Structure 1
Amino acid sequence: MRVIVSEFMEEDILRAGLPGWQVVYDPGLVERRADLLRALPGAKALIVRNHTRVDAELLAAGAQLRAVGRLGVGLDNIDLAACRARGVAVFPATGANDISVAEYVISSAMVLMRGIHAMPSRLADGDWARNALMNGREICGKHLGLVGFGAIARETAKRALAMGMRVSAFDPHVAPGDAAWSPGGGRVAPRTLDEVLAASDVLSLHVPLTAATRHMIGSEALARMKPEAIVINAARGGVIDEAALAAALRAGRLAGAALDVFETEPPPPEDTARFRGLGNVILTPHIAGLSRESNRRVSEVTVRALRDHFATEVA
């Protein structure tokens, strides 16, 4: 059995979990499309993260592919219809990086509330900016609004409730009586999107990128928010209108933002330049779901899914 791995994962878990397989582990293939296509003939499985495009061209090159393992949960880089048409199963690593993303959201909110993320460099330059930071805000008692209430949002809600926050969420796909609204430690209030926007001290996005969600948080949505609110996007780039967000921050209509995902990745210089000079922004390169622990969980879940799938297929 031959498997191609085009992006990074825990190689020891890969090889130990697929004994007897022919493993082609080359995380640089994601940047070398032609080499990836040449490597696919004869492969039964492919493992990717979020940058390898699994499209009709790739599936045609890998005519013997029977499964794709996704080291993460977003599937916008995978043509699911084309996979179904060819009988290729797709296995996202559901749940494996939920904790990592939830911790990113809460920690970013805390740092932005206190205004301390730029302090180490300021102190190193001799700026004892104590007065500028003496009125940072506590997270306890603040309102966390979640747009989308799937698994990662629920993990985020648990942590927020434990820290004394009030939590509401907008998700038309979760029924009002669903047990998910009581995730432990308190109650999450189901609300409309407008209600969540208006109430939030911290707004965190947890929806996939679709035609319906693209730029759902744009200038009009941002205008409905409190000027002291913070926006965090660790879901998918494009859900928020980055130009509108930057304009709101510069105009003082928002207190801060953390972006881990961007409409184009890596973002071109003109996109990141929108945020240059803003002291209330955290920009990170799509790493919210990446940690030492989650990297291993994601690899374990993906390898197990492929092993079980082919064991069933053979049986």
Structure 2
Amino acid sequence: MTTAKVLITDKLSETAVQIFKDRGLDVTFDPTLGKDPERLLRVIGEYDGLAVRSATKVTSKVIAAADRLKVIGRAGIGVDNIDVKAATAKGIIVMNTPSGNSVTTAEHALSMMMALARQIPQANASTHAGKWEKSKFLGVELFNKTLGVIGCGNIGAIVADRAIGLKMRVIAYDPFLTEDRAVALGVEKVELDALLTRADFISLHVPLTDKTRNILSAEALAKTKSSVRIINCARGGLIDEEALASALRAGHIAGAALDVFEQEPATDHPLFLFDNVICTPHLGASTGEAQEKVALQIAEQMSDHLLKGAITNAINFPSITPEEAPRLMPYVTLAEQLGSFAGQLTDVAIKGVRLEYCGEAAGLNVKPLTAAALGGLLRPSMPDVNMVSAAHNAAQRGIAVEEMTCSQHDVYESFVKLTVKTNSYERSVAGTISVDGRPRFIQVRDIDMDFALSEHMLFVRNQDKPGFIGNFGTLMGENGVNIATFNLGRETPGGEAVTVVALDDAVSDEVLKQVSQLKHVVRARRLRF
């Protein structure tokens, strides 16, 4: 048997490198290679495993050249430097270490908040320059101040917990934070506008998605107190940096502390000109403990996969033993698709999830299926979630997960049904495996349908009235949008209906708006898979 070869292209601890060697793997440790994409392209075809941090960009070109690659391991949580879609399409597992950096990143945010409150970097520079400007650096206390946490997941919850220990009042905006979870954390759940107007400090802890990009826009910043101080140790792009500079210039923002920027490395930035802005070079995860922890974790995970076929903390695959894989895989795909479909249509806090496995599906190991469904459900709001960490993330948000099994259905020999519960409604979607082994949807909102997912889709809730189908088709034609498949189901004649349309390309915001304004349309949503 040929010894599996692992390439490490970023800085990893010697202990982690030794783990690979001790497990009998052939390791090449070249921490400069990640900064040389052309050389990486030339050599990647020789390796079965690739271990990286953030410097190496694992692009679609790299993946296309990786003829032997079975696993990419990211020592850390963020995988935005890896083309996960391309890796998945080629059957390459992408692993990360989702919990290794949480405490370190949270502590950095708190350190930035304290430094901002007391102007520590500015006072330090002044004192080092031989000055003694005691009256110049008048700070503010954290005691009894209100901290607004945007995003109360793993890291945000740690920040909230530590801030409460400092006797701060903590308010949190997170659409997926339930009231029960908020009570358990000791925070007050609020809407974003309330957080903006009430907070003395604002700390960001959300991933960068289409929904969170520029969440602190010019309009949002205008709603804050003029004494507010803003901390971002999450992702660049969450703050409109030009708007922040304008607000600082106008004296509307008291200060900002930034560890991340929209474009990195940020070596020349307008925000560097402000005395009341503290900047660090993306140091959130940069402690010896965190670096060592994630390096050791990824070395163990990759070794277990290459030697035993085990899968742990995979972004694009659940934890499944090699023996289970052939039978489970079609249902894993179905479960993830059901979750993704429901997740893209859910904009409020999820209270619970019920998964029903019937017929053949009931006899399977349903835990990976539930993990896949939860991963799909949470990923629209949490891009870094994986199928292994999904259950943990759901529990953190107070989402109750229920699994049920039942005997064979009258119509389908086997099917999976996912129901999302919120404080105001329950919605379900169900699917089965067709004779060709591919997933198909058979119900949406308890309305019988029959369709398969495609990359670009439109979901429309409408009234079953004459003229809707013709008006919809005309609108698509006028905008040059080609319909691949069109599926419509209804509760009763003339009543509530659901339309699911597969398109060759994604529709623009303007076309989506036009669809929403069609007669008989209740809601229209763009979906992508």
TM-score by length of 2: 0.56
For 2:51, which of 44, 47, 52 is the aligned residue? 47
The 1-side partners of 2:8 and 2:206 are apart by: 27
| Contact map agreement 2:20 2:27 (CA 8 A) in 1 | no
Q: Do structure 1's residue 88 and structure 2's residue 85 form an aligned pair?
A: no
5+ residue gaps, structure 2: 311-321, 323-529
Identity %: 37
| Contact map agreement 1:146 1:170 (CA 8 A) in 2 | yes
For 1:285, which of 255, 276, 281 is the aligned residue? 281
Measure how far apart 1:277 and its partner are. Answer: 3.5
Measure how far apart 1:253 and its partner are. Answer: 0.7
Q: Do structure 1's residue 203 and structure 2's residue 202 form an aligned pair?
A: yes
Measure how far apart 1:181 and its partner are. Answer: 4.9
Q: Hey, what does 2:222 align to over in structure 1?
A: 223
The 1-side partners of 2:82 and 2:21 are apart by: 23
Q: Do structure 1's residue 242 and structure 2's residue 241 form an aligned pair?
A: yes
Question: CA deviation digits over 1:170-228, x for unaligned, max 9?
Answer: 111233333x6523xxx012211112222211111111112222212111111111111
Measure how far apart 1:42 and its partner are. Answer: 2.5
More helix by share: 1
For 2:164, which of 161, 164, 172 is the aligned residue? 161
TM-score by length of 1: 0.92
Q: Which amino acid aligns with 2:294?
A: V
Q: Hey, what does 1:15 align to over in structure 2?
A: 18
| Contact map agreement 1:4 1:39 (CA 8 A) in 2 | no
| 1:23-62 to 2 correspondences below 5 Å | 23-62=27-66
Measure how far apart 1:286 and its partner are. Answer: 0.7
| Contact map agreement 2:171 2:190 (CA 8 A) in 1 | yes
Question: CA deviation digits over 1:97-142, x for unaligned, max 9?
Answer: 1111111111111111112221122123232111122x41111111
The 2-side partners of 1:117 and 1:201 are apart by: 20
Measure how far apart 1:50 and its partner are. Answer: 2.2
Q: Do structure 1's residue 75 and structure 2's residue 79 form an aligned pair?
A: yes
The 1-side partners of 2:188 and 2:17 are apart by: 41
More strand by share: 2
Q: Tell me the SS of whatever aligns to 2:7.
A: strand
For 1:177, which of 177, 180, 184 is the aligned residue? 180
Q: Tell me the SS of whatever aligns to 1:305.
A: helix
Q: Which amino acid aligns with 1:40?
A: I
Change (3 A) 1:213 1:51: farther
In our comparison, the structure showing a higher alpha carbon Rg is 2
The 2-side partners of 1:208 and 1:143 are apart by: 23
| Contact map agreement 2:49 2:69 (CA 8 A) in 1 | yes
Q: Hey, what does 1:119 align to over in structure 2?
A: 123
Q: Which amino acid aligns with 2:134?
A: R
Q: Hey, what does 2:290 align to over in structure 1?
A: 294
Q: Do structure 1's residue 151 and structure 2's residue 150 form an aligned pair?
A: no
Q: Tell me the SS of whatever aligns to 1:177.
A: helix
| Contact map agreement 2:19 2:299 (CA 8 A) in 1 | no
Q: Hey, what does 1:261 align to over in structure 2?
A: 260
| Contact map agreement 2:230 2:255 (CA 8 A) in 1 | yes
Measure how far apart 1:17 and its partner are. Answer: 4.5
| 1:90-109 to 2 correspondences below 5 Å | 90-109=94-113
Change (3 A) 1:87 1:259: same
| Contact map agreement 1:169 1:188 (CA 8 A) in 2 | yes
Change (3 A) 1:23 1:111: same
Q: Hey, what does 1:6 align to over in structure 2?
A: 9
The 1-side partners of 2:48 and 2:68 are apart by: 6
| Contact map agreement 1:181 1:189 (CA 8 A) in 2 | yes
Q: Tell me the SS of whatever aligns to 2:135.
A: helix
Q: Tell me the SS of whatever aligns to 2:136.
A: helix
Aligned length: 307
